[in-house]
Structure 1
Amino acid sequence: MNPELLDFDTPQQPNTFERLLAFIQAVPLYQKVLAILLFALGDALIIFFKASKPFEWIEIAQVWGGLLLLIVFFSSLLKAFLLGINFLYQKITGKTSQLTALNSSSITLMVAFLSFITLLILAYFID
Structure 2
Amino acid sequence: LETGVELYELREDALNALGDIPADQDLPITLHTKMAIFDQDRVFVGSLNLDPRSVKTNSEIGLFIQSPAYATALLKRLETSLTNYAYQVTLDDNGEFVWTWSGGPEEVAYKEPGATGWQHFLAVLPQVFGLEGLL
TM-score normalised to structure 1 length? 0.24
Task: Please tell me whether Structure 1 or Structure 2 has the larger radius of gyration of its CA atoms.
Answer: 1
Higher relative contact order (CA 8 A, sep 6+): 1
Give the helix-richer structure, 1 or 2.
Answer: 1
TM-score normalised to structure 2 length? 0.23
Give the strand-richer structure, 1 or 2.
Answer: 2
